[in-house]
């Protein structure tokens, strides 16, 4: 009985079941929903969410109420910077990645310094940074969409590369492997869990907690910036609020994936499944022709429901 | 003459714990009465009962010969009993007058504050202590501008404002330096001249003999002796504090400590909680830190470990000067720190036993990559050397009992082969079996050459394990015990001694 309960409340099981359930519902509502090419399309969207959620995962696992609400603005920034660097030519792809990644990494580090050195609560720091970045973007671009994706980048995101799958899915799989390696095979990864679990104990085993926490926000910024490059590859051009829609889902994907918002637990595989489940949910809601507000309402509800559910299992676990 | 206060046979139990089985105390008018006893002997509970913050279960409490039952601090205050809080309770932004009457503001017509009356009362109080008040000490001065000495005076005036007949000073001098203590004693003598009685709790024997008229000693919740200060001496007082326990009960070590050069040498070290501490630790030596709780023993260990870095002094390891400003540096120099507060300082809650052990090894050996397969055998060996009972390295730390968890946190450091072990009251809250395993291991490690500094809040643990004991008082070493002085009489005596 207890065993069954543990299996049912295992985030990986829960996420997988939700994915299958949502696929079934989608197919019922609109035949062809679960067709192969549709699923690939959904996976590409999931990959975009999954990339930004990877950074979010690191920040959350690191603990001390870690959360990065600036990822939306940083995706937008990454997309706009990349669009301008490429201006539709393939030769601009590498500069686009470097500029978008570099700038967002630095902004992420600033988030981290605010949290560690100035002790600003992560929620406030990253929300404040969102405002600064969004304002800066509007000033820079004067609110007009600018820059275009290079054809190769669009192909990488949208057209089959190998085995009928677009390149971006391989990139995502690679990111998944990288996250596993970072978290399970490096000192940095072990340190992230340790400081998320008990910061004082982590300090007393000699781990450079402040440095690591600063880096985590840097990584989150970097991953958001790279996500921005992929986003412009997906849509073709960029506008200043293109990343906003990813903020709440990036947090929900992390929670569905079984990472406690209190820090110190969970893994990225769960978050990948969470990103897929959430993208499916979004797709089902679109099929139902639900307006934007309706989707927000359901997303928020899902987040709160999960918090309720996992909050209980956490108590049981002690 | 009837005593001002007469407490007889007072008892108090908190749940299953008997805090007080026979609290008896008699204080005369204008008397400075010292109350003495080890931690947990019932002094504080008795004082709280007298001050009305805790209700007694049985026994009688008489004020001026009449039975009273004090149900609240306010009631005790109305009867002229005041408890002095050492922990600073001042509001820095407010003036001296406002602080003194905080919570007891004088109101005039219409319920408004009568600031004129407040000032006049304050000035009258200050005038009484003009000789010690110093410059700038006026009713209107904001407390933030006062010197620490003057702030202390405000605390005392706060108590005196209610015109008490009996004041309880619970470790009032613990945080004061010698000069401030003098100031405090001057005030105490003036109060005495005015006929105010005081109960004075202090852990400094010299102060007690300097200021008190009589001494009452408590042990294990009961009053065991009362002396007139002029008719007794330190030895008699200390003997009544420790009772009839066997004075010497140690098991001699089979392997004597090395006589070679020290592995760790500390010279003139100070941090927030300790001052000017010097010590030398030899290979294979078990050095104990003794004294009353909170006299700087933990702070010294945390200082060595870089968690509460020293601001002055020097550290040498194997004859080479080293700088230790954070735990990582200490760990790389071969130091290990085991805290008694596992939940706060050691446990990576919700993580596996493997991870709980690995964190220190990774840092010590600067492992960028972690291969569990290579590390596991080492960790398992470390855990096995402590007889740890656990269900595999992947089991969560929370699945173990407290004693076994502590063994894992010790194994964490055994895995690093640290040559210096800093033990900060490590047996707190673990069962007797685990304690025995732990003591056996400490001896075994020392026999193999590990140097150990061991702080324990229980004297018996120190006496049975250590080759030498440094006794701490107010953040400094007050005595060193070894050889024939290594017994509970000398340990207690030194714990209550003045800083040497």
Task: Tell me the pLDDT tens digit for each residue of B211-235.
Answer: 999 999 998 889 998 999 989 888 8
Determine the pLDDT at residue B305: 96
Check A205 against B327: CB less than 8 A apart: yes
Same domain, B172 and B309: no
Q: Domain A2-317 adopts which CATH fold?
A: ABC transporter involved in vitamin B12 uptake, BtuC (1.10.3470)
Q: Please state the φ and ψ torsions of residue A161, each to the nearest 5 degrees.
A: -115, -45
Q: Which of B210, B242, B274 is the last residue of a domain?
A: B242
| Chain A residues near residue B338 by CB distance under 8 angstroms | none
CATH number at residue B444: 3.40.50.300
Contact B370 A186 (CB under 8 A): yes
The candidate with the shortest Cα–Cα distance to A61, out of A197, A187, A246, A180, is A197
Interface test with A, best of B370, B375, B376, B414 (most A CBs within 10 A): B370
Give the domain extent around B183.
5-242
Task: Report yes or no on B253 lying in a domain.
Answer: no
Per the document, the length of chain B is 500
Cβ distance B350 to A264 less than 8 Å, yes or no, reads yes
- Tell if the CB–CB gap between B347 and A201 is shorter than 8 Å: yes
The structural domain count of chain B equals 2
A193 and B348 in contact by Cβ < 8 A?
yes
Instruction: Using the predicted structure, report yes or no on whether residue B498 has a pLDDT greater than 60.
Output: no
Whether B363 sits inside 8 A of A194 (CB atoms) is: no
- Shared domain for B309 and B356, answered yes or no, is yes
Q: What's the confidence (pLDDT) of residue A317?
A: 35
In terms of DSSP bridges, do strands B335-339 and B222-228 run parallel, antiparallel, or are they unpaired? unpaired
Contacts of B355 in chain A (CB under 8 A): 190, 193-194
In a domain, B376, yes or no: yes
Question: What pLDDT is recorded for position B64?
Answer: 87
Q: Does residue B454 form part of some domain?
A: yes
CA distance B323 to chain A (A): 15
Q: How far apart are CA A177 and CA A288, in angstroms?
A: 35
Whether B231 and B277 map to the same domain: the answer is: no
My answer on whether B389 and B447 are in the same domain is: yes
Determine the pLDDT at residue A316.
36
B287, B394: one domain: yes
ipTM tops the 0.85 cut = yes
Distances (CA, A) of B328 to A33, A209, B334: 55, 11, 10
CB-based contact (8 Å) between A193 and chain B? yes
Instruction: Select the more confidently predicted residue: B357 or B153.
Output: B357
Neighbours of A143 (CB within 10 A): 12
Full 3-state SS string of chain B: CCCCEEEEEEEEEECCEEEEEEEEEEECCCCEEEEECCCCCCHHHHHHHHCCCCCCCEEEEEECCEECCCCCHHHHHHCCEEEECCCCCCCCCCEHHHHHCCCCCCECHHHCECHHHHHHHHHHHHHHCHHHHCCCCCCCCEHHHCCHHHHHHHHHHHHHCCCCCEEEEECCCCCCCHHHHHHHHHHHHHHHHCCCEEEEECCCHHHHHHHCCEEEEEECCEEEEEEEHHHCCHHHHHHHHHCCCCCCCCCCCCCCCCCCCCCEEEEEEECCCCCCEEEEECCCCEEEEEECCCCCHHHHHHHHCCCCCCCEEEEEECCEEECCCCHHHHHHCCEEEEECCHHHHCCCCCCEHHHHHHHHHHHHCCCCECCHHHHHHHHHHHHHCCCCCCCCCCCEHHHCCHHHHHHHHHHHHHCCCCCEEEEECCCCCCCHHHHHHHHHHHHHHHHCCCEEEEECCCHHHHHHHCCEEEEEECCEEEEEEEHHHCCHHHHHHHHCCCCC
B367 chain-A contacts, CB cut-off 8 A: 187
Q: Does the beta-carbon distance from A197 to B363 stay under 8 Å?
A: no
Claim to verify: residue B317 and residue B382 sit in the same structural domain: yes
* B316 and B226, same domain (yes or no): no
Q: Summarize pLDDT for B424-463 with one digit per residue, the tens.
A: 989 877 776 777 788 888 999 999 899 999 998 878 889 8
B73 falls in which pLDDT band (50, 70, 90)? Answer: confident
Q: What is the pLDDT of residue B107?
A: 66
Percent of chain B beyond pLDDT 90? Answer: 32
Distances (CA, A) of A90 to A86, A148, A173: 7, 11, 24
Instruction: Tell me: do B381 and B302 sit in the same domain.
Output: yes
The confidence score (pLDDT) of residue B354 equals: 95
Contact A232, A82 (CB under 8 A): yes
B131 and B270 together in one domain: no
Evaluate whether residue B248 is within a structural domain. no
Given a cut of 70, the residues of chain A with pLDDT beneath it are 1-9, 143, 310-318
Residue B40 has pLDDT above 80, yes or no: no
Does residue B250 form part of some domain?
no
Report whether pLDDT(B145) > 60. yes
Q: Among the listed ranges B273-287, B369-383, B385-399, which one has the minimum average pLDDT value?
A: B385-399
Test A187 with B369 for CB contact under 8 angstroms: yes
In a domain? residue B256: no
pLDDT tens readout for residues B3-18: 889 999 999 988 777 8
Interchain pair A264, B348: CB under 8 A: yes
Determine if the pTM surpasses 0.95.
no
B249 domain residue, yes or no: no
Residues of A in contact with B423 (CB under 8 A): none
Query: Looking at per-residue confidence, does B80 or B121 come out higher?
Result: B80
How many contacts does A have with B, using Cβ atoms within 8 A? 85
pLDDT at position B112 over 80: no
Last residue of a domain, one of B179, B211, B242: B242
CB contact under 8 A, A206 and B358: no
Mean pLDDT, chain B, whole residue set:
85
pLDDT band with cut points at 50, 70 and 90 for residue B141: confident
pLDDT of residue B500: 40
**Within-domain flag for B257:** no
Instruction: Give B386's pLDDT tier (boundaries 50, 70, 90).
Output: confident
Kindly report the nearest CA distance between residue A187 and chain B, in angstroms: 5
Smallest Cβ distance to B370: which of A185, A201, A202? Answer: A185
Instruction: State pLDDT tens for residues B78-103.
Output: 888 988 865 567 888 888 888 888 77
Residue B55 binned pLDDT confidence (cut-offs 50, 70, 90): confident
Question: Is there a single domain that holds both residue B275 and residue B224?
Answer: no
pLDDT digits 0-9 by tens, B298-347: 999 999 999 999 999 999 999 999 999 999 999 999 999 999 888 899 99
Q: Which of B351, B414, B423 has the most A C-beta neighbours within 10 Å, making it the best mutation to test the interface with A?
A: B351
Residue numbers in A near B362 (CB within 8 A):
187, 190-191
Could you say which residues from 351 to 410 on chain B have a Cβ atom under 8 Å away from some Cβ of chain A?
Answer: 351, 355, 358-360, 362-364, 367-371, 398
């Amino acid at each position: 009985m207890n065993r069954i309960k543990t299996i049912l409340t295992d985030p990986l099981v829960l996420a997988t079941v939700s994915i299958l359930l949502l696929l079934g519902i989608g197919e019922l509502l609109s035949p062809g929903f679960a067709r192969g090419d549709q699923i690939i399309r959904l996976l590409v969207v999931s990959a975009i969410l999954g990339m930004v959620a990877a950074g979010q995962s690191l920040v959350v696992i690191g603990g001390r109420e870690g959360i990065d609400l600036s990822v939306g603005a940083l995706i937008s920034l990454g997309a706009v910077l990349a669009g301008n660097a490429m201006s539709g030519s393939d030769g601009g792809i590498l500069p686009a990645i470097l500029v978008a990644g570099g700038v967002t990494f630095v902004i992420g580090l600033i988030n981290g310094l605010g949290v560690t050195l100035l002790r600003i609560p992560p929620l406030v720091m990253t929300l404040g940074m969102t405002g600064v970045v969004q304002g800066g973007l509007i000033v820079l671009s004067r609110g007009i969409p600018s820059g275009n994706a290079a054809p190769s980048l669009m192909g990488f995101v949208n057209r089959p590369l190998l085995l009928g799958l677009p390149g971006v899915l391989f990139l995502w799989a690679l990111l998944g492997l990288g996250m596993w390696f970072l978290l399970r095979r490096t000192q940095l990864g072990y340190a992230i869990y340790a400081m998320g679990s008990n910061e004082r104990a982590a300090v007393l085993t000699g781990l450079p907690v402040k440095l690591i926490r600063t880096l985590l926000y840097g990584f989150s910024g970097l991953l958001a910036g790279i996500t921005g490059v992929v986003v412009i590859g997906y849509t073709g051009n960029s506008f200043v609020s293109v990343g906003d829609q990813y903020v709440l889902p990036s947090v929900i994907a992390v929670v569905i994936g079984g990472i406690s918002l209190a820090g110190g637990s969970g893994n990225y595989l769960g978050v990948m499944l969470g990103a897929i489940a959430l993208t499916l949910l979004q797709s089902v809601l679109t099929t139902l022709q639900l307006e934007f507000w309706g989707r927000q309402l359901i997303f928020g509800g899902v987040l709160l429901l999960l918090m309720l559910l996992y909050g209980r299992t956490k108590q049981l676990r002690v | 003459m009837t005593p001002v206060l007469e407490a007889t046979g007072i008892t108090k139990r908190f749940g299953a714990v008997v805090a007080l089985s026979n609290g008896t105390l008699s204080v005369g008018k204008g008397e400075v009465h010292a109350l003495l006893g080890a931690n947990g002997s019932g002094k504080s509970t008795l004082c709280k009962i007298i001050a009305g913050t805790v209700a007694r279960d049985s026994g009688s409490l008489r004020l001026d010969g009449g039975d009273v039952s004090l149900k609240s601090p306010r009631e005790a205050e109305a009867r002229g009993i005041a408890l002095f809080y050492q922990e600073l309770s001042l509001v820095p932004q407010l003036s001296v007058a406002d602080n003194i009457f905080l919570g007891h503001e004088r109101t005039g017509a219409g319920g408004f504050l009568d600031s004129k009356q407040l000032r006049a009362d304050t000035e009258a109080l200050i005038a009484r202590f003009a000789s010690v008040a110093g410059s700038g000490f006026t009713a209107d001065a904001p407390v933030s501008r006062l010197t620490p000495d003057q702030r202390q005076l405000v605390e005392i005036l706060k108590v005196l404002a209610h015109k008490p007949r009996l004041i309880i000073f619970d470790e009032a001098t613990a945080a004061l330096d010698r000069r401030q203590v003098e100031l405090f004693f001057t005030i105490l003598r003036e109060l005495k001249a005015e006929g105010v009685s005081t109960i004075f709790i202090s852990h400094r024997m010299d102060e007690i003999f300097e200021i008190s008229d009589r001494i009452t000693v408590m042990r294990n919740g009961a009053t065991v002796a009362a002396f007139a200060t002029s008719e007794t001496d330190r030895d008699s007082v200390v003997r009544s504090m420790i009772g009839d326990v066997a004075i010497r009960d140690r098991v001699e070590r089979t392997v004597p400590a090395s006589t070679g050069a020290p592995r760790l040498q500390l010279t003139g070290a100070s941090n927030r909680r300790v001052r000017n501490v010097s010590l030398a630790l030899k290979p294979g030596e078990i050095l104990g830190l003794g004294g009353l709780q909170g006299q700087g023993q933990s702070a010294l260990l945390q200082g060595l470990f870089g968690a509460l870095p020293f601001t002055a002094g020097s550290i040498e390891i194997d004859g080479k000067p080293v700088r230790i400003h954070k735990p990582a540096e200490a760990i790389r120099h071969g130091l290990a720190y085991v805290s008694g507060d596992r939940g706060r300082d050691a446990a990576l809650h919700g993580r596996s036993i493997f991870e709980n052990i690995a964190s220190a090894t990774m840092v010590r050996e600067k492992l960028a990559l972690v291969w569990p397969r290579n590390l596991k055998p080492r960790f398992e060996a470390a855990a096995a050397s402590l007889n740890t009972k656990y269900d595999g390295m992947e089991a969560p730390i929370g699945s173990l009992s407290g004693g076994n968890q502590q063994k894992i946190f010790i194994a964490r450091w055994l895995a690093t082969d640290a040559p210096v072990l800093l033990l900060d009251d490590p047996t707190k809250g673990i069962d007797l079996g685990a304690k025995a395993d732990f003591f056996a291991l400490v001896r075994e490690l020392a026999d193999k050459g590990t140097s150990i500094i061991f702080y324990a809040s229980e004297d018996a643990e120190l006496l049975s394990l250590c080759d030498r004991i440094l006794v701490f008082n107010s953040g400094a070493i007050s005595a060193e015990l070894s050889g024939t002085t290594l017994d509970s009489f000398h340990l207690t005596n030194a714990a209550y001694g003045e800083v040497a």
